[in-house]
Amino acid sequence: MSRAVVSLNSGSSSIKFALFTLGPDGPQHAAAGKLEGIGTAPHLVARDKDGTILIDRNWDDGSGLGHETLLHDLFAWAGDHLPDPDIVAVGHRVVHGGTKFFHPLVVDDALLAGLEALCPLAPLHQPHNLAAIRAIRSLAPDLPQVACFDTAFHHELPEVATRFGLPRALHDKGIRRYGFHGLSYEYIARALREADPVLASRRVIAAHLGNGASLCAMRDCRSVDTTMGFTALDGLMMGTRCGTIDPGVVIHLQTQEGMSATDVEALLYNQSGLLGVSGISSDMRALHKSDDPRAAEAIDLFTLRAAREASALIFSLGGLDGIVFTAGIGENDPVIRAAICERLAWLGIAIDQDANARNAPVISTADSEIVVRVIPTDEERMIAIHTLAALTPAGGQS
Ligand code: AMP
């Protein structure tokens, strides 16, 4: 029976998961999948390491099924169908570690209470992360669980970069910049060190461009600045999130447009971004297919915002040596990569169109002044690595 670790990334309406068996070379990817449509029409797809579909299931009339029931079904299926995995731990992506939690930690009652207290800082993400931890606890009370924090990679941001221009008392209450997508950036940093150690030691912007999108300025693979701040709303325009806007807009919506705080929250998180600007879709592929000028404008704004925020990070880095694109759009969309690089052409970036079209690992030309790379992210692997390390501090290879 092979020992295995499960990585869970639990969101409001979906749970991404991956199973890693433990070999002498660390976690080996065995299976992965996604349970989508929680609360509406749950749909589970899982594939083995070769991409063969292991399960493709819909739940009839599943709108009332919550995380706990669906995780129960998922674990029951895994127990019946996966080749004898002896699951030794479950690792979770937890969006917010606040100022206290940054190393991955084995979950106990005190930690759960501490993470619960951070829910107001990430109301749309943290409760779902914790719901998955609780669900596993009720299914398997003795199974160790490890919380891995998305804020952790930015834990060493220079103090001044964590501040808003707000009264100090608010900063002291936790109203400050944290940064997110940390597990993704940590994976990218590791992968970059392997692929290109020279570039990894220099000034790099990692661009995580998916439904959620952010940039991270890294020097020697450490975060020195990032575009998300207090919440995952800040920075780039995203699939349904607005990104940076004038805070006066929020005041105006409430005082002049009669919107409640809840209405504004729904607007900024779920109805804005590519979806709001195009009026068509939050999905970049759908926008590319559309010949509606509003779709073109949404795409244009997406690349404009990305290049503008990147330019601010170049200031934080004092220059730039490389860009790494990752996540759904960053890994797969040559048009968006080219458009962002075109807006940054003043840096001396030159893109190799063939390499870009192939999503090749290096998409800049040999004489480009900036190296531009594409690295597929793997947050689930990062969670597995941390989970093992938290259980066996010597390195998790036991
Ligand atoms: P993620 O949140 O990382 O899963 O990324 C989701 C985003 O990536 C959506 O906007 C998708 O349209 C986009 N995406 C995924 N695959 C592709 C692709 N092959 N080409 C263009 N965009 C893609």
User: In this predicted model, what pLDDT tens digit does every residue of 46-87 receive, in sequence order?
Assistant: 998 899 998 898 987 777 788 888 888 888 887 777 666 688
Full domain range(s) for residue 20: 2-149
Tell me if 395 is assigned to some domain.
no
Residues 144 and 204 occupy one common structural domain: no
- Write out the binding residues: 9, 16, 93, 208-212, 283-285, 328-332, 379
Number of Cβ within a 10 Å radius of residue 37: 18
Residues 145 and 215 occupy one common structural domain: no
The C-alpha atoms of residue 357 and residue 377 are separated, in whole angstroms, by 19
Q: Which pLDDT does position 124 carry in this prediction?
A: 79
Tell me if 44 is assigned to some domain.
yes
CB of 331 within 6 A of ligand 1: the answer is no
Is the whole-model pTM more than 0.85? yes
Q: Which pLDDT does position 144 carry in this prediction?
A: 96
- Picking from 123, 149, 175, the residue at the C-terminal end of a domain is 149
Given the residues 150, 225, 333, 378, select the one marked as catalytic. 150
Active site residue 150: yes
The C-alpha atoms of residue 321 and residue 211 are separated, in whole angstroms, by 26
Residues 233 and 372 occupy one common structural domain: yes
Tell me if 95 is assigned to some domain.
yes
CB of 285 within 6 A of ligand 1: the answer is yes
Among residues 269, 390, 373, which one has the least CA distance to residue 324? Answer: 373
For 192-329, list the strands marked E by DSSP: 203-209, 213-219, 222-226, 322-326
Tell me if 385 is assigned to some domain.
no
What CATH number did the domain enclosing 94 receive? 3.30.420.40
Q: Contact, 226 vs 317, CB < 8 A? A: no
- Picking from 149, 178, 213, the residue at the C-terminal end of a domain is 149
Tell me if 232 is assigned to some domain.
yes
Residues 89 and 237 occupy one common structural domain: no
Residues 222 and 334 occupy one common structural domain: yes
Lay out the sheet containing 26-36: strands in order across.
53-58, 43-48, 26-36, 15-23, 2-10, 85-94, 145-149, 105-106
Q: Contact, 92 vs 11, CB < 8 A? A: no
Per-residue tokens: 101? 């939690």
> Maximum distance among all alpha carbons in the chain?
64
Residues 145 and 205 occupy one common structural domain: no
Residues 49 and 139 occupy one common structural domain: yes
Show the low-confidence residues of the chain (pLDDT under 50): 395-398
Tell me if 183 is assigned to some domain.
no
Residues 214 and 357 occupy one common structural domain: yes
Tell me if 173 is assigned to some domain.
no
Tell me if 368 is assigned to some domain.
yes
The C-alpha atoms of residue 140 and residue 314 are separated, in whole angstroms, by 47
Q: Which pLDDT does position 397 carry in this prediction?
A: 40
CB of 328 within 6 A of ligand 1: the answer is yes
Residues 214 and 334 occupy one common structural domain: yes
**Number of independent structural domains in the chain:** 2
Read off the pLDDT of residues 264-280 as tens digits, 9 standing for 90 and up. Answer: 999 999 999 999 999 99
